Structure 1
Amino acid sequence: MIGVISVLVSIVVFLVPFAFVILQAMKTPAAASRLAFSWPEEIVFVENIVEVMTMRDGIVPRAFVNSTILTVTSVVIMVIAAAMVGFVLQRRASRWNPVVNFFVLAGLIVPPAVVPTIWLLQTLGLFKTLPGLILIEATFGLSFCILLFRAFVGTIPRELDEAALIDGAGPFRLFFTVVLPLMKPTVITVIVVQSVVVFNDFTNPLYFLPGDENATVQLTLYNFLSQMLNQWNLLFTDVLLITIPPLVMYMFFNRQIVAGMTAGAVKG
């Protein structure tokens, strides 16, 4: 009974809003402005997609390119850096470990300070640049990734490290050829979860990457809202286009996400 109720609640919470978005994206401007949960009298879905993709000299396709570059680069940095830090924290006892653990946990708890971060980016000449936002996204997601990798490294037998060292492997060869391939479940989890987080991020691009040339997909929603006119049909079409990539990624990798999240839960 509880399972049936959970399924029904999930349908209401997730599928009904998604169906509402699809219906509005299929309507004409006049019909969509009523925001009614009803089948469209006239289906103009393809026309809405074409208009969204061509508006303002193709700002939406340009935003998809920017978001793809931002997401891929940020996630690659997070995976490599967090895997290395997690491996070192788990394998090597040091008097600095408590200090590092403190800052890792602080990264999860302490909210980011926008104004000092903008000042730092301006000082480094990275404000309003894609590399600057890539560093921001990678930094903000690093703490969560480190905790996942550290927990998973605890399940890898130390005998593998010792055998690789006896065979003459150095620290980098040990990590990249022995340890990192064994982290595949956690790597997939980090890639999927952080890709969705970065791709769907709205506030960081708004603060640290203003300007049409640097627009990300979430910021394109502003194109269809104004004080004088709200283009609801185009807004929901844009929302649908933005939702599809993370949804497809989750559908293909949902089992790997669960496996990666639970892989370090029990040491065995």
Structure 2
Amino acid sequence: MSRRWSYYGYGLIALLLSTVIFWVPFYFVIINSFKNTTESADFSMAWPKVFQLAANYKEVLMTNDYMLVRAFYNSTVLTVFSIAVLVLVCSMAGFVLQRREGGKASSTINFLVLTGLMIPPAIVPTIWVLNGLGLFKTMIGLILIEVALHFPFAAILYKAFTATIPRELDESAFIDGCGGIRLFFNIVFPLLKPVTSTIVVLTAVGVFNDFVNPLYFLPGSDNATVQLTLYNFTSLYRTAWNLLFADIVLISLPPLILFIFFNKKIVAGMTAGAVKG
């Protein structure tokens, strides 16, 4: 009985902490997005005297000739293509790194992959390289940057998960006359669904919420992503806090929906490769 009460007690404490850390700030943002400019500037959690739900959100959508709508389109294109390229490249890289582990170059390659997690990206040299390739201020250039920045984490996850797939499958496929490419796409890649789901969700949230890379590598109002639309309601002398909070609510909905529906797959994919390898 005492163990059961302690179990429920720890659960209650965890629930209260999550409420304070996550839901109280989210409630603060939502409730202030319903207020007028004067009331929202008080930064209180009190209910508004007059709800301006439709007016605030309509103004956010219409600001700068529907800039937020264009930003949602740009962020969606950036996220979808970045994930597609990342999954394709990192799944193959993780498979090769795991299957050829122990070779002469494997330790060097693993070290280079790990350095990608530790060394921060350099803005000016990256702009110089993109400009030389003719990809600066282009969506393709930004997609390649997102893939490069998320490559180490995704490749390590794929490598760990590939270790749980028996090598006997590879040997049986080769005996049956299956080539390397066919082996990967027909046999190995379908078995990587759990970790692929984890990488898709985590990367989608990271790319969709990215602020720095679109700011530096894809400037221009027509190329704005959702995070850059926050500049629409801030200035040196005045900030429309109610509209800013409404914008935050709108751009937070897609990542929140992803986490709500795929949180179990995220945990499964993160822990699947911890048993072996």
Bin of the TM-score, shorter chain as denominator length: over 0.9
Does 2:48 correspond to 1:36?
Answer: no
TM-superposed deviation, 1:160: 1.0
3-state SS, counterpart of residue 195 of structure 1: helix
| TM-score normalized with structure 1 length | 0.98
Does 2:239 correspond to 1:218?
Answer: no
Q: Give the 5 Å matches for 1:136-151.
A: 136-151=145-160
Structure-1 residue corresponding to 2:180 = 171
TM-superposed deviation, 1:127: 1.1
Task: Provide the C-alpha distance between the structure 1 equivalents of 2:51 and 2:41, rounded to a whole number of angstroms.
Answer: 15
Q: Deviations over 1:160-217 (max 9, x none)?
A: 1111112221111110010000000000000000000000111111111111011000
- What are the ranges of 5 or more consecutive residues in structure 2 without an aligned counterpart? 1-8
TM-superposed deviation, 1:2: 3.1
Task: Provide the C-alpha distance between the structure 1 equivalents of 2:56 and 2:91, rounded to a whole number of angstroms.
Answer: 43
Counterpart AA for 1:2: Y
3-state SS, counterpart of residue 43 of structure 1: coil
- What are the ranges of 5 or more consecutive residues in structure 1 without an aligned counterpart? none
Counterpart AA for 1:106: T
3-state SS, counterpart of residue 276 of structure 2: coil
TM-superposed deviation, 1:92: 2.1
Q: Give the 5 Å matches for 1:116-265.
A: 116-265=125-274
Task: Provide the C-alpha distance between the structure 1 equivalents of 2:176 and 2:96, rounded to a whole number of angstroms.
Answer: 20
Counterpart AA for 1:67: S
Structure-2 residue corresponding to 1:57 = 65
TM-superposed deviation, 1:128: 1.2
Task: Provide the C-alpha distance between the structure 1 equivalents of 2:268 and 2:231, rounded to a whole number of angstroms.
Answer: 37
| TM-score normalized with structure 2 length | 0.94
Task: Provide the C-alpha distance between the structure 2 equivalents of 1:236 and 1:216, rounded to a whole number of angstroms.
Answer: 17
Out of 9, 25, 31, which is 1:23 matched to? 31
Task: Provide the C-alpha distance between the structure 2 equivalents of 1:77 and 1:101, rounded to a whole number of angstroms.
Answer: 21
TM-superposed deviation, 1:35: 1.5
Q: Deviations over 1:211-262 (max 9, x none)?
A: 1011000000010000122111110000000100000000000000000000
How many pairs were matched up? 268
Q: Deviations over 1:65-119 (max 9, x none)?
A: 0000001111111111010000001112432211211110000001111111111
Q: Deviations over 1:7-33 (max 9, x none)?
A: 211100100000011101111122212
Does 2:88 correspond to 1:99?
Answer: no
Structure 1 vs Structure 2 CA RMSD: 1.1
3-state SS, counterpart of residue 63 of structure 1: helix
Instruction: State the identity as a percent.
Output: 54
TM-superposed deviation, 1:145: 0.2
Structure-1 residue corresponding to 2:6 = none
Does 2:78 correspond to 1:78?
Answer: no
Task: Provide the C-alpha distance between the structure 2 equivalents of 1:267 and 1:116, rounded to a whole number of angstroms.
Answer: 39
